[in-house]
Homo-oligomer: A and B are copies of this chain.
Amino acid sequence: MYNRIYNFSAGPSMLPLSVLEKARDEMMNCRESGMSVMEMSHRSKVYDKIIKETESLFREVMSIPDNYKVLFLQGGASMQFANIPMNLLRTGKADYIVTGQFSGKAYKEAQKYGDIHLAATTKDENFTRIPRQDELDLRPDADYVHICFNNTIFGTKWDYIPDTGNVPLVADMSSCILSEPIDVTKFGLIYAGAQKNVAPAGLTIVIVREDLLREDLPAFVPTMCNYATMAANDSMYNTPPCYPIYVCGLVLEWIKGLGGLEAMYKINKAKADKLYACLEESKLFKNPNDVASRSMMNVTFRAESDEINDKFVKESAAAGFSNLKGHRSVGGMRASIYNAMPSEGVDALCEFIKKFEAENA
């Protein structure tokens, strides 16, 4: 009807069709306000209702306890790579576990601000797995431990929540938030760029336990980077990214309508299982990662021959599957199958893989 294609982009990525249709239908006049959401004063009654409803839905869908703040910020996960040490360092020590490119960037950025310890990494194994609990060299007096829960580029995911004792656990969930139920109480802070499972780019979610917030930070910390200030102003210290917050609300309504995160998980698990099964049957393509560390959102695969990989990318694009080319640091292919990717998209990709393999045996 709209000539839409299956978009396997790692992010920004697909949004649910019904969400886009609602955004389109409300573009000229939203909720009888006589204006688009993009035109509303962020202090207006209509918009105030939108942001409050969105936060409330976020809390409901993710079962976020009352002693956690939900912040709607800007700057992406990359901005939080600095904000987290600037806000959470007290003694000056933090432990980082590096399992891919973004956790590596977070680790590097944090070094500007304190004594940052590499508690574990699987770099020597090309990030094909998540370290086990007994491999983590954690310091009991660290201010926090930082992990990236799902590694978008390498297609791996933590299959357990690491035990960090009394040290708060901080997790970048940019590419897996809202994909399955998560026990928020196990984390001190969860953050996510919105552009994969939540909303269009330009919105960053921070879920933080209240006792970790402190308004009195080192003098050099920009006011806009102070989580306590943002929390005290309900994410309205200045104009927030109003439109992505509105779309986030529509996405949360869609998830709730499907049955919440339990139902979302079942759908996502079925999609991922099907694609991994297809790759296990394949003689041409392989997923390089440990089975236990497989991501449910980003599925990487490659043939031994780069020529075959290039051919697959080219022919799949011509067949209406976009963005299957893997990240330049990994090569091969990557299918990002976030919440909004319909099961039919994964079915069609599996069929295409089989057809391609038959033609290129």
Contact = CB atoms under 8 A, between A and B. Distances in A.
Interface of A: 2-5, 7, 9-15, 17, 20-21, 23-24, 27-29, 32-36, 38-42, 44, 74-79, 81-83, 86, 109, 112-113, 193, 195, 200-203, 218-220, 222-225, 237-244, 247, 320, 322-323
B201 A203 contact: no
Contacts of A33: 5
Given A223-B109, A224-B79, A39 B27 contact: no
Contact of A113 (B7, B195, B220): B220
Contacts of A7: 34-35, 39
A3 B179 CA distance: 38
The 3 closest A-B pairs by CB, nearest first: A5-B34, A82-B222, A202-B241
A12 B38 contact: yes
A34 B41 CA distance: 32
Nearest to A102: B238
Nearest to A7: B35
A4 B29 contact: yes
B74 A76 contact: yes
22 contacts: A2-B29, A3-B34, A4-B34, A5-B35, A11-B239, A12-B239, A15-B36, A20-B27, A21-B27, A38-B201, A38-B247, A75-B75, A76-B239, A78-B237, A78-B238, A81-B222, A81-B224, A82-B222, A112-B222, A202-B203, A202-B244, A222-B222
A239 B12 CA distance: 8
Nearest to A21: B28
Contact of A39 (B15, B86, B320): B15
B239 A201 contact: yes
Given A76-B238, A86-B222, 7 more contacts: A3-B29, A5-B35, A12-B42, A27-B27, A78-B237, A78-B238, A202-B244
Contacts of A44: 9, 322-323
Nearest to A328: B43
